[in-house]
Structure 1
Amino acid sequence: MIQIEFSDADLATVRLAHSPMVEVVTSTFALYRPSKYWMYRSWRSRVAPQLPRAGLETFLAVTTGPNCFVPDFLSPVPVGARPRLEEELAVIGATPLEQVAAEVHAAWAGHPAPPEILRFEHDPRRALDDLVRQIRRYFELAIAPFWPRLRAVVESDIARRARTAAERTPRALVSGLHPRLDWDGATLHIGYTRDDHWGLDGHGLALLPAGFAGPSMYTVSAAPSGRALWYPPRGYGRVWDQPAPVQPSAALAAVLGHTRASVLTLLAMPHSTGEVASVLGLSPATASHHLTTLRDAGLVAGDRVGRRLRYLRTGLGEQLANAS
């Protein structure tokens, strides 16, 4: 059992973010542990054949060691809500070389290490530079083609949790996060066989949804940049499905009209006005009209992400869509 000292007062420290490097790290689990991460089969079949020719020897050696340990410095706890990959790579590249070497070798402790790992002992600066370059290349091959869909699922989860916390209580940020997690108001309990007990020690708690986390939850308990929980966002399995035609239920269409019901059905995940228009074959003006009507009825709400306003169903909208 993993136990994290976490009181009601600590709710004020909770924040949500989406980290490209957490997706990179968890994607290696999905890549090399197919029986547990079976839901990524279609992604794996597209990505795996490209890797042997991509010059990723150092990256793969570091992330797939025999001890099933990925160095902590590869996933710095983000400061902002939406860090860019280059920002996180800059943090990784600035990691003290002694820490880099120690964590890389820990992944291979007790096993013969390949040359790519031994380099971190003899020439850690160059080895780290090569690792950063190869992470960038891996992201281009394995993550970037799916990034818009990953981001959409994660943004949906973040917006939904934030809105639920505002409509109910801040406890909603933590409750229901994962089936293995329970909170008694003083301690977070995570039902894994590994025993671990720690507190926030003055750090905030970052909740990091990761589309590649699969069925698992992961903890970051000792990073200089903070404490974190990685968890699978709601609906992460839809990232790998082919988009299906939007078809509202007959009952919902009878209440709202077919077009407006289609918009509400679509907004199970966040979409901008332009995206709603494109998916449903509407003019931008028509899409905007229906979004405004649904917003005024309290069924959807807008959340600005960068320069773009994206709409998502509210709790009331969820109830109506799911009840119909």
Structure 2
Amino acid sequence: MLRVHFTGLDLARVRIAARPDALWETILSFHRLRDRQGALVFDEWRSETRTRLNSEARLLGPLVPSRGYFPDFLTPPEGAQGLEAALEALRATPEDRLRVDMSRLPASRSLPSWARTLAEGDSAPLGRLTGALRNYYRAAVGPYWPHIQARIEADRAARGRALLDGGADRLLASLPPMMRWRPPVLEADYPVDRDLHLDGRGLLLLPSFFCRRTPVALHDAQLTPLLVYPVEHSPAAAPTALARPFGATAPRSLGKLVGNTRSAVLQAVGGGCTTSELSRRVGVSLASASQHASVLRDAGLVVTLRNGTAVLHTLTPLGAALLRGGAGVRTLSEAASGTGR
């Protein structure tokens, strides 16, 4: 079990990553490629990805075992800025950091010669490593990035809503069930027993598409505290199910009533999203997303909040009731007028 210890200052400094991290998704997808977890979600992705790989898996395997520790330097914070920024930071890893991180790999693990030179602090093989990571990303992650981004944005919207409704306490309590908020400690299922003391540094929460079953934290407690956790998955959320990643669970009658695309838009709004996020989630143009949101807003199903040039769309009670097929609402007219019980 992992126990993350918070102070009052840490609670004030909890934050949610603004976007997916390219290298975290790359490394964690490499785990999913080799295990059998999440068959309904990942099996088709595994099949497609393997047809595009060459020698990347053989090169990455020694540094990224199927389970357990992999070097912290493989996931620099620049991953939030995109793949190339992350790889540039990785190439600049100091030699002493290479030695320390590589020394934490199991002593029984046999390393190829290029990896042994990394463990000795020689940065020369980093060019070969970054090339393998770039090629692997292009095969396994890049083709699905818009969908991955949409799923993570949906999770981020839900966490942000919890934060707005109840502060950091509600946010931490809203995390997936493998994490349990017992103030002032966040407990999480974890492969080893560990305590992480934040000591006023706060915590960055990073939702991840390819993370599964348990969250992941950096090994080095001196680095900026980070907790990677899995977003919710269903078969409709598979990375290859790009045609209609949202809207698959909406009532069929809703599609007949408002049209399949507008039904998908209504569900994609979910816990809240911007117009650009809505566009990515549904797979329509920005102009089309804006037009659909406008129609739903005029019908009283969506409300739009504006902050400068940015907008946030959220469901009204009527919109949520329609998405549920009317469950829990006596009539739509009562829901609109607020008289339903």
CA separation of 1:197 and 1:274: change in aligned 2, threshold 3 A: closer
Superposed counterparts of 1:201-212, under 5 Å: 201-212=199-210
CA distance in 1, matches of 2:38, 2:195: 27
Structure 2 equivalent of residue 110 of structure 1: 108
Q: Tell me how far apart the structure 2 counterparts of residues 127 and 276 of structure 1 sit (CA, whole Å).
A: 38
Answer whether contact 1:181 1:188 (CA < 8 A) is retained: yes
| Counterpart contact for 2:159–2:174, Cα < 8 Å | no
Q: How much has 1:74 moved relative to structure 2? A: 1.0
Q: CA shift at 1:235, angstroms?
A: 3.8
Asked if the contact 2:76/2:86 (under 8 Å) is kept, the reply is: yes
CA contact (8 A) 1:64 1:70 kept: yes
* Secondary structure class of the residue paired with 1:154: helix
| Matching residue of 2:29 | 27
**Superposed CA offset, 1:184-235 (max 9, x none):** 2211112346211121133221101110002221122535540111111134
CA–CA separation in structure 2 for the residues paired with 1:314 and 1:225:
41
CA distance in 2, matches of 1:315, 1:230: 32
**Aligned twin of 1:226:** 224
* 1:60 aligned partner: 61
Equivalence map 1:11-160=2 (5 Å): 11-17=11-17, 18-34=20-36, 36-38=37-39, 39-51=41-53, 53-54=54-55, 57-64=58-65, 68-77=68-77, 82-121=80-119, 124-160=122-158
In 1, the alpha carbon distance for the partners of 2:226 and 2:112 equals 31
Distance change (3 Å), C-alpha of 1:320 and 1:128? same
2:295 corresponds to which of 253, 278, 290: 290
C-alpha displacement of 1:153: 0.4
5+ residue gaps, structure 1? none
Corresponding residue for 2:2?
2
TM-score using structure 1 length: 0.80
Q: What value does the CA root-mean-square deviation take over the aligned residues? A: 3.6
The one-letter code matched in structure 1 to 2:258 is: H
- The corresponding residue for 1:240 is 239
Secondary structure of the 2:176 match is: coil
Gap change, CA 1:19 and 1:140, over 3 Å in 2? same
Q: Name stretches of at least 5 consecutive residues in structure 2 with no aligned partner.
A: 327-341
Deviation at residue 43 of structure 1 after TM alignment: 1.0
Q: 1:224 to 1:293 in 2, by over 3 A?
A: farther
Q: Structure 2 residue aligned with 1:179, among 173, 177, 180?
A: 177
TM-score (norm 2): 0.76
| Aligned CA distance change for structure 1 residues 317 and 40 (closer, same or farther; 3 Å) | same
